[in-house]
Amino acid sequence: MKFIHAADIHLDSPLTGLSAYPDAPVEMLRTATRDAFTNLVTEAIEQLVDFMVIAGDLYDGTWKDHNTGIYFCKEMGRLKKAGIPVYLLFGNHDAESEMTKKLQLPDNVFAFETRKPTTFRLEHLKVALHGRSFKEKETIENLASGYPAPLPGMFNIGVLHTALEGATAHANYAPCSLDELHAKGYRYWALGHVHEHQIWQGASTVVFPGNLQGRHIRETGPRGAVLVTVDESGVPEVERLFVDVLRWYSLEVNVAECNSLSEVVVAIGNELDGIVENSPSSIPAAIRVTVIGKTPAHGDLFGLESQLRAEVLALAAAIGTERIWIEKVKVNTSAADDGERVRARVDALSDLQELLEAAESNPEFLKSLQKDLLGLVNKAPLELQTAVPYFKDIRSGDLAGLVHEVRPGLVSHLAKVE
Amino acid sequence: MRFHRLDLIKYGKFSDRSVEFPAAKQDFHLVVGPNEAGKSTLRSAIVDLLFGIPTRSVLSFLHPLNELRLGAHISNPSGALEFHRAKAQKQTLRSPSDAVLPESALIPFLGTADRNFFDQMFGLDHTGLVAGGNNILNAENDVGQILFQSAAGVASLGKIRDALVAEADKLWAPRKSTDRAYYIAADQLERATAALKEATVRTKVWVEANNRGEALQESLSGERDRHRQLQSRRSSLERIRRLAPSLIAIRDSEMKLAELGEVIDLPIDAATILSVSERELAIASQRLELRDSEVEITTAALGKIHLDEVILGMATDISALDKLRLQYSAYNRDIERRKNEIAAHWQDVCHACTQLGWMPESESAVALRIPKLLVQRELRQLVRDHGGVIQALRSAEKAESNKLSEIDQLSKQLAGVQSGEIKPALRAALANAKSFGDSGTTLQKQQRVLTKAKSALEGLLRELRQWQKPLADLPAMQPPSQEKISRLLQDRLGLVFDRKAELIRLENQKAEVGRIELDISQFKERHHPTTYEAVLQTRQERDASWLAIKTGETTLQQAAQKFEAAMIHADGVADRRLDDVEEATELQSLLHQLERERQILLTIKSRYSDLENEIQMFDDLWAEQAASLNLVDMPLEEIGAWIIKREKALAAAAVYQDAQDDSDSTCRGVSEARAGLINALRETGLPASEADSLSVLSVQAESFIQGIDGANVRRETLSAQLLAAQTLATTLKQSTDDAKAEESRWTEAWSNALAKAGLSADSDPGSAEGALELIGKIAEKLEKMRQIQVERIDTMNADLKEFSVDANRLAEIIAPELTTGSAGEIAVELANRLAQARESHAERERLRETLRSANVKVLEARESIQTATANLKPLMEKAGVDTRALLAEAIGRSDEHRRLNTGLAEAKTFLLNGGDGLTRLQIEAEIDAADLTQLVSGLAKINDELSDTVQRQTDLSADLANASRILSDIGGSDAAAQAEAQRQEAIARMSDVAERYVKVITAERLLRWSIDRYREEKQGPLLERAGSIFSTLTSGSFRKLVVDFEREPMVLEGLRSDGKPVGISGLSDGTRDQLYLALRLAALEMHLEQAMPLPFIADDLFINYDDVRSKAGFEALRALSEQTQVIFLSHHDHLVPTVQDVFGKQVNIVFL
């Protein structure tokens, strides 16, 4: 007997942080979460699984387009043709969505009720599935505690959307502890909500399959569901199924040894080659390049940040625009010597460096800078207020950090040019 | 740190050259060397020595790159160091004994200074000075920038700030622009948001669409039910209408059948049979009557016919006889004609006989005289052979005599041929001479080539024009490469272009200044504005007047009126100015504008003149280079062409040399060959003149050898020919004898043959041939006469006789009275009688046939009457009647009964078929229950209702289809997802742009703020010191430097000795350079107060200065040279006296 356990599909939620540039593989990836889900369904049909479990968060809660639901039904239709039933549990996002209530699911899709735990018995497989959907988003009661006792002689699967203990990165919905799950007497816990893949072996096998498709730079690496194969003795074997169509990578390149922009570009190129070599050619990579290190090229990088981005894009283009999408090129370098060399010159530039340092604590300057920057901040749309980290500091007038960040680059830049 | 000595061990053009820098109070050193003397090399040597030799160096042209090496002795108050700098990847710092020194060994002397810093702070050349001066001008509105740039020795502060401003402006500005990255992304966001809104389908919308679809489906089902009910009712009414007439017909038929009672059922065709039989009986009776009378008439006619059977029996013979009559009718005429032909032939024979001399008695006699065929043939053969025999004899005799005369001729020729011998030496000398061919032409040709090469060379040398050189010097020259020339040309062209562009700007700017001046003058004319200066002036006049009163210069009484007038005037002017404040402001604005434009004009002028200078310098530099190549006044544009011409000239020289060598070698060979040939000729004994050319001698020798060789060949040929002729002559004699024998044999045969043929013995072959021809003709004619008699005349007479016999035979059998007539008449009469007998016979046969046919038809008519009667018999029996009238009546009743039954059955079938499955009883009940009068109106009403329901169904179906389409449009499209993705892409782009904008604008504001602060902090001490140096440099023309804080933005000004301030744009180019130098030196002095001193390298700083200014410059450097070492590099030795003047005679001067 084998089944697929997926969760946190977030159908039609967009990839964020990717700005389009000429030749970026935009068209290919605008429907990434759908394409990943289609891959999953195809995989289920090809693997001839006995059933599929979706442990919550099928859609994004705020997503309003009913087409997404219709698309989901169509994919379920494909599984129906292949004779594969689906056991669907609604999580916090689904509870929020109007679609959940109104969508007319095909008859091979069985949804867990919200009022009380539901048990589905698959007599021919000797499988029992227990689960309870979220009635509302803010479900903070312990749902697992109300699940029924395991059915004797059956392979008992608990389906649960939960933050589990300690998963602080995600909202603390339907909390419960790992011990509690082990103690329940089920053989397998099909969990959802936490986007990173996790597995605990014990009395039960407890699994977060992770989300189906990484959607931003905080969801790096391969993504997908799990394929669970249960042998005759009832021991589940869990194998990851990667169905994602774009993979995120955060690439830190230490350029401490680089003296110029061109050397930095070469260093980045080498690292990019490494990613390309070690990732499947069929899946494009969205890469954030962060340049770090105390480097003599700091001044160059400050003045030529746009050129650096252009050159990295050119590298990506050379590797193949269908292979790589540069999400961002971040310069997080610092001056090689913290300004010591400039200070030692005892000339006009070292005087200037001192003055620049003073600017950080000059309230008059900071005030006038805030005024200048507020022009942009006040005009920017709401989405940008959270997307640009500087905006919060600008609004609160806490600009010392920004000045501190910009200053060394400026000094290095001045020292570098003639 | 200072240098005591600099060692140029292997570096540039130098090998083991040391330059000493002895210490002195004023640590100043002048290094003088003409261009290319290595002055610039010295400057780069100092930097390379201190900070390492770069990976690639242009100074490796003499010594290999990896062997470059420098050395020095340096010191500072805390110590001294002797060291070398090698060119290597690492460990480049060495001791003089080549031991590796740590890189840190120089730190005590250099501190943290790096190459860049040292070059910026402690190096200055003329270009840097000019650039610094220009940068001051460019930054004239920013005192901070001027001070910073001058002090730090960097020129690009303004550029960096401008670049930051430009970048920020491209990213974001409050004003929306399609060029700004932020707004481009914002537009994308807006479009994507709109697309998202457009594509998003809310669940509510879907639910509504779904509900509406279901409601419509329900309505449509209801309407369809109603439609079915109406259709059922309509079919019932239509059935009634359809079946009611059939039911009435059934009931009527059933009633009539009952009335008809019992009926004998006769066959359906009974009536037909009866009528057919009656018609047949009538026809047959009529026909019988007609045929009986026909038999009677025919029998009578037959009895009248008589027939001659005898003549009919002989019909074949009579016909044959008549045929023969016709065939032989022409025979008598033909026989007569043939006899005439025989007579004609006989006449011909008689004529021939006469020619032959024969007497033509009769045919047979003539026939006997014709000779036999064999004799004729023999005679003909001999005639043919006669010519051949005679011809053979003549030919043999002629061939024999010809050969004998040929033998005689050959013997004579052989006796006449001479003989001789040739020496091998002569042949060898001739062969050698010939190897030169036509030596004269060859020499001439070579001479022509030589002349041509020479003139080409001279032409090319002439093309080198005034830069022509002796040929020997040309290859030794080392002119610059074409690449270098093209680079120089490009550089110059670039400068010229720049100058042209600047000139255009200059013209434009002048026009702009002129325009504004015109505006101002027009404005003044138009408004007569009162300027502040005018107010000041009137007030000064007023105050002067008052002062005069106050000081008692004049009495109050005297000056009061003037003062009052001045006061009123001053107040009036002031009031007018206040009244005309708008005009005054506008004028002021125009004046400011004028001032700005004039300043720009000055800048452009300065740039233009700089470019002029640069081009001049460029040209001078080139002139120097050209002179060093001994190509004085060679224009740069022409050097490329000149080098090509030089190369061509060198190539032509090589060609000329080759031609010269060829010519000499040929001359030598010819003269040797000539001497050899003269010797050989003389040894052979031939006369040979020394004056003759090689060609003449060759011809002489060659003709001698050819003569001797030719005679030998001829004698051998003639001997062979004579021998052959003698052999042939014997054979020819034998042939003549044979021909003679043949002729006698023929003559004998000829006499015999003539005798046999009966021709005269003296007949020659010609007359014998004619006799033979006549004999042939006689034989032919005789044969023809015989043929006509036998084959034609005799045959026809036989036929005519046989015909006459036949005719008489037939006449005796048939009509003996005819035997008296001729055979022809008998034949004609018999033929006529046969024709009559045949006609009578034919008529009798026709009548017999007619009679037979009539008898057959009589029989047929009788049979028909019997058949018809028999046909009616079964019907009559079935109907139980015996007459045809009674039968007809019975048949009528039977047919009526059958018709009624058939109609009834049809009506019943129609009723059941059209009854939609109902039984007759149900149908009768339905029809009987219906009110047939209301049927039509009921149907019309139902049809109306049906149309109504159909329309309603159509409407509902359309609505349903529409609703279904709306629903199916929500078919899982990913348009909304795509739009959202695009929105996120736009947000990401905006976010990137915003982040960069924040950083760039922060950097720009930081820079601006700190430069302002720098100015605030530094302007006091720096300007004070720089002002003092500036005063020195300008020989006191300027007193000091000040900042005009009143102006906005504040500006730097030089204060002239008379206290007049001059802005930067008001300074001449040279003075501005001096200002820059003053600021740089002041900053350097201030730096040295805090930092470790390093040598200051000044590279031809005063290149454009006159002696006075140069001296002032050295004065300024004197102060610096007391703080640190100053090494002044120059290629002007005229500076030496000035330096010695400033620094004293003992100053260190190094000549490279």
| Three-state SS at A362 | coil
Mean pLDDT value across chain A = 88
Closest partner residue to B976 (CB to CB) among A67, A391, A402 is A67
Q: What is the mean pLDDT of residues A83-88?
A: 95
Interface of A with B in 121-150 (CB under 8 A): none
Q: Residue B335 corresponds to which tokens in the numbers above? A: 């026989």
Closest approach of chain A CAs to the CA of B1035, in angstroms?
Answer: 28
| SS3 per-residue string spanning B742-767 | HHHHHHHHHHHHHHHHCCCCCCCHHH
Q: Specify burial of residue B1013 (Cβ count, 10 A radius: 0-12, 13-18, 19+).
A: buried
Cβ neighbours for B243, distance < 8 A, ≥ 6 positions apart: B910, B911, B914, B915, B923, B927
pLDDT tens profile B1067-1114: 888 888 888 888 888 888 888 887 888 999 998 888 878 888 888 889
Pick the residue of B120, B177, B189, B203 with the most A CBs within 10 A to test the interface with A by mutation: B203
> Are B970 and A73 within 8 A, CB to CB?
no
Q: Is B152 on the interface with A (CB under 8 A)?
A: yes
pLDDT > 70? residue B676:
yes
For residue B1030, the one-letter residue type is F
**Torsion B531-B537-B539-B542 (CA) sign:** negative
- Record: contact B981-A30, CB cut-off 8 A: yes
Q: How close A10 gets to chain B, by Cα (Å)?
A: 12
Residue B187 has pLDDT above 70, yes or no: yes
Which DSSP helix (H) or strand (E) runs through B973? none
pLDDT at res. A211: 93
Q: B-contacting residues of A 352-381, CB under 8 Å?
A: 352, 355-356, 358-359, 362, 365, 368-369, 372-373, 375-376, 379-381
- The nearest CA of chain A is from the CA of B1052 a distance in Å of 18
As a whole number, mean pLDDT of residues B239-253 equals: 85
> Measured between alpha carbons, how far apart are the two ends of chain B, in Å?
23
CB contact under 8 A, A102 and B206: yes
Name, in order, each residue with C-beta under 8 angstroms of B180's C-beta and a sequence gap of 6 or more: B169, B170, B171, B172, B173
Q: Which helix (H) or strand (E) holds B1129?
A: strand B1126-1130
Contact A345 B112 (CB under 8 A): yes
- Which tokens sit at B698? 């060759």
Given an 8 Å threshold on Cβ–Cβ distance, is B154 in contact with A74? no
Whole-angstrom distance, CA of residue B761 vs CA of residue B768: 10
CA distance B151 to A221: 53
Is B1090 in CB contact (< 8 Å) with chain A? Answer: yes
Distance CA B912, CA B923 (A): 9
- pLDDT band for position B553 (cuts 50, 70, 90): confident
Cα separation, B824 vs A256, whole angstroms: 159
Comparing CA positions, the residue from A5, A29, A12, A7 lying closest to residue A70 is A12
Quote the minimal CA–CA distance from A5 to chain B in Å.
24
Residue A343: closest CA among chain B residues belongs to which residue? B112
Average confidence (pLDDT) over B447-476: 83
CATH numbers and ranges of domains, chain A: 2-242 (3.60.21.10), 247-417 (no CATH)
B195 touches chain A (CB under 8 A): no
State pLDDT tens for residues B52-84: 888 888 888 888 888 899 999 999 888 899 999
Burial of A58 from C-beta contacts in 10 A (0-12 / 13-18 / 19+): buried
A16–B987: do the CB atoms touch at under 8 Å?
yes
**Looking at residue B734, what is its pLDDT?**
83
Q: Could you give phi then psi for residue A231, rounded to 5 degrees? A: -85, -175
pLDDT category at A169 given cuts 50, 70, 90 is low
pLDDT tier for residue A389 given thresholds of 50, 70 and 90? confident
Radius of gyration, alpha carbons of chain B: 79
* A286 has a chain B CB within 8 A of its CB: no
Please tell me the distance from the alpha carbon of residue A79 to that of residue A43, in angstroms, as a whole number.
Answer: 10
- Cα separation, B1073 vs A412, in Å, equals 28
**In chain B, which residue's Cα lies nearest the Cα of A376?**
B174
- Tell me whether A232 touches chain B (CB under 8 Å): no
Residue A79 contacts residue A105 (beta carbons within 8 Å): no
The number of C-beta contacts closer than 8 angstroms across A and B is: 224
Whether residue B193 lies within 8 A of chain A, CB to CB, comes out as no
Q: Are β-strands B28-32 and B69-76 bridged in parallel, bridged antiparallel, or unpaired?
A: unpaired
Mean pLDDT computed over B498-513: 90
Q: What is the pLDDT of residue B419?
A: 64
The pLDDT, as a whole number, for residue A5 is: 96
Predicted local distance difference test score (pLDDT) of residue B418: 66
% of chain B with per-residue pLDDT over 90: 9
| pLDDT above 90: residue A198 | yes
Inter-residue long-range contacts of B1025-1028, CB under 8 Å, 24+ positions, other chains counted? B1025/B1082, B1025/B1085, B1025/B1086, B1026/B150, B1026/B1075, B1026/B1078, B1026/B1079, B1026/B1081, B1026/B1082, B1026/B1083, B1027/B1055, B1027/B1078, B1028/B1082
Residue B150: other Cβ atoms inside 10 A: 27
**Residue B164 CB burial class (10 angstroms; 0-12, 13-18, ≥19):** buried
| For A98, nearest residue in chain B (alpha carbons) | B203
What percentage of chain B reaches a pLDDT higher than 70? 99
Predicted ipTM of the assembly: 0.90
Residues of B in contact with A71 (CB under 8 A): 972, 974
Residue B609: what are its φ and ψ, rounded to 5°? -70, -35
Which residue has better confidence, A230 or B284? A230
Q: What is the pLDDT of residue A150?
A: 94
Residues of B in contact with A376 (CB under 8 A): 172, 182, 994, 997-998
Residue A166: pLDDT band (50, 70, 90) is low
The reported pLDDT for the residue numbered A266 is 92
C-alpha distance from residue B138 to each of B555, B603, B1013, B1019, B1070 (Å): 57, 8, 20, 19, 15
Question: Cα(A58)–Cα(A69) distance, rounded to whole angstroms?
Answer: 9
Across the interface, whether the CB atoms of B167 and A306 are under 8 A apart is answered yes
Please compute the mean of the pLDDT values over residues A158-172 and round it to a whole number. 79
Q: Which two tokens stand for residue A130?
A: 């227990």
| Beta-carbon separation of A406 and B1006 below 8 A | yes
Q: Which range among B559-568, B644-653, B1026-1035 shows the weakest confidence by mean pLDDT? A: B559-568
Is residue B233 over pLDDT 90? Answer: no
Spatial CA neighbour of A34 closest among B571, B924, B974: B974
pLDDT digits (tens, 9 = 90+) for A282-334: 888 999 999 999 888 887 787 788 889 889 998 888 888 788 888 889 888 88
**pLDDT of res. A228:** 96
Angle between helices B975-1033 and B157-171 (to 10 degrees): 160
Q: Chain B contact for A23, CB < 8 A?
A: no
Other CB atoms within a 10 A radius of the CB of residue B1079 amount to 27
Q: Does B971 touch chain A (CB under 8 A)?
A: yes
Helices (H) and strands (E) in chain B, counts: 32, 13
Average pLDDT of chain B is: 84
DSSP B508-535: HHHHHHHHHHHHHHHHHHHH-PPPHHHH
Contact A270, A233 (CB under 8 A): no
Kindly determine whether residue B160 and residue A413, on different chains, have CB atoms separated by under 8 Å: yes
Calculate what percentage of chain A has a pLDDT beyond 70: 98
> B538: Cβ–Cβ under 8 A, 6 or more apart, which residues?
B566, B569, B570, B573, B574
Residues 6+ positions from B808 with CB-CB distance below 8 Å: B819, B823, B826
> CB distance from A262 to chain B under 8 Å?
no
Residues of chain A neighbouring B152 (CB-CB closer than 8 A): 347-349, 352
Do the beta carbons of residue B161 and residue B1004 sit within 8 Å? Answer: yes
DSSP, residue by residue, B459-509: HHHHHTGGG---TTTTTT--PPPHHHHHHHHHHHHHHHHHHHHHHHHHHHH
Question: Quick one: CA dihedral B436, B437, B440, B441, positive or negative?
Answer: negative
Of B980, B996, B1001, the CB nearest to A14: B980
Whether residues A31 and B978 touch (CB distance < 8 A) is answered with: yes
User: pLDDT tens digit string along B24-40?
Assistant: 888 999 998 877 777 78
Q: What gap in Å lies between CA B804 and CA B810, rounded to an integer?
A: 10
> Among A78-92, B94-108, B127-141, B492-506, which stretch is predicted with the lowest mean pLDDT?
B127-141
CB-based contact B1000:B181 (threshold 8 Å)? no
Q: What is the pLDDT of residue B369?
A: 78
> Are B59 and B127 contacting, i.e. CB atoms less than 8 angstroms apart?
no
pLDDT of the residue at B747:
82
pLDDT at position B643 over 80? yes
| Count of alpha carbons within 13 angstroms of residue B471, beta-carbon side | 16
For B743-757, what is the mean pLDDT?
82
Strand B79-86 with B69-76, pairing: antiparallel
Which residues, 6 or more positions from B817, have their beta carbon under 8 angstroms from its beta carbon?
none
Contacts of B792 (CB under 8 A, 6+ apart): B334, B335, B338
Mean pLDDT value across residues B467-479: 79
Question: How do residues B422-442 score in pLDDT, each as one tens digit?
Answer: 778 788 888 888 887 777 788
* Structure confidence by residue, pLDDT tens digits, B145-155: 777 777 776 66
Across the beta sheet with B93-94, the strand order is B14-20, B2-11, B69-76, B79-86, B93-94
Rounded mean pLDDT, B348-356? 83
